């Protein structure tokens, strides 16, 4: 538990630093809620393992916990495990933290609770991640060749660029305070197409974000379902207790 709390604090610190240095330049889009969609969660887990786990870890999530989203252990072994991993292992990246810090300017954070750590005035952590993963653009001035509207000057490259293709933001100039012109984001221009359509890419990112949400609290849906049954039981019991009380006191004056 202490390690999970430490991971959450580190993620909060990293994101707060990003907000202080870059600011929130665009409004966050609303992420679809897919935490109850097993097919979407399975696809999100596949995207996470194939694209995120190369640099980021989810050190507090074990592969065999994916059975909770409908996968068998054999499916996990055949489709999601690296050759050296076992189904009971935690989802750790093999990247050297020192090299990662040298390449990206910071050690890639653990993503176990990342969807819970970035809630703010702009929306939930899922909204931030959904916006962030869809607003990369080519920027040759950056070491990685990429920048991001939701996280300006980000050190992470666009690992899903082949799916989305290359885009560039279109800005409008607005007159600000004191007559100074400011650029405001207007729309996107597709420079080169991706391997999937824009709609399919957004759906895939929704699946990935849904998985990140689920991973941050795997028991959340079970807890909510149990809570509904408990409230229903208490409601029924209240009626029974009320009638028993009336029956007990009816002959007492």
pLDDT tens digit string along 1-21?
A: 444 433 433 444 444 334 433
The string of pLDDT tens digits covering residues 159-200 is 999 999 999 999 988 776 776 778 888 999 999 999 999 999
CATH for 2-166+193-218? 1.10.760.10
Is 164:65 a contact under the CB 8 Å cutoff? no
Can you tell me the mean pLDDT for 140-145?
Answer: 91
The predicted pLDDT at position 13 comes to 40
- Other beta carbons within 10 Å of 42: 18
User: What is the distance between the alpha carbons of residues 44 and 236, in angstroms, rounded to a whole number?
Assistant: 39
* Mean pLDDT of the region 134-159: 93
Report pLDDT for 70. 93
State the average pLDDT over residues 106-130.
Answer: 86
Measured distance CA(179)–CA(74) in Å, rounded:
64
C-alpha distances in Å from residue 211, one per residue of 22, 34, 130, 217:
27, 8, 12, 10
Task: List Cα–Cα distances, 40 to 68, 81, 159, 212, 239, in angstroms.
Answer: 13, 19, 20, 11, 41
Averaged pLDDT for residues 230-249 = 88
Its pTM stands at 0.79
How much is the pLDDT for 77? 92
Phi, psi of 110 (to 5 degrees): -70, 140
Q: How far apart are the first and last CA of the chain?
A: 57
> Cα–chain-centroid distance for residue 188?
23
- The span from the CA of 44 to the CA of 55, in Å, is 17
Mean local confidence (pLDDT), 56-69: 94
């Amino acid at each position: 538990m202490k390690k999970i709390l430490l991971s959450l604090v580190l993620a909060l610190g990293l994101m707060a630093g990003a907000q202080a240095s870059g600011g929130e330049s665009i409004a966050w889009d609303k992420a679809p809620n897919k935490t109850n969609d097993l097919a979407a969660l399975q696809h999100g887990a596949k995207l996470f393992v194939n694209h995120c786990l190369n640099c980021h870890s989810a050190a507090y999530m074990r592969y065999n916990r994916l059975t909770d989203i409908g996968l068998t252990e054999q499916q996990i072994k055949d489709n999601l495990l690296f050759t050296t991993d076992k189904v009971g292992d935690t989802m750790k990246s093999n990247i050297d933290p020192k090299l990662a810090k040298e390449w990206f300017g910071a050690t890639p954070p653990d993503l176990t609770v990342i969807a819970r750590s970035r809630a703010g005035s702009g929306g939930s952590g899922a909204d931030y991640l959904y916006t962030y993963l869809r607003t990369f653009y080519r920027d040759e001035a950056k070491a990685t060749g990429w920048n991001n509207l939701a996280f300006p000057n980000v050190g992470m490259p666009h690992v899903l660029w082949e799916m989305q293709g290359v885009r560039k933001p279109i800005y409008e100039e607005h007159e600000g305070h004191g007559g100074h012109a400011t650029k405001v984001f207007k729309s996107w221009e597709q420079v080169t197409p991706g391997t999937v359509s824009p709609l399919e890419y957004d759906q895939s990112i929704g699946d990935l974000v849904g998985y990140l949400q689920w991973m941050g609290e795997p028991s959340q849906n079970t807890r909510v379902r149990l809570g509904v049954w408990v409230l229903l039981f208490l409601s029924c019991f209240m009626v029974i207790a009320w009638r028993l009380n009336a029956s007990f006191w009816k002959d007492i004056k």
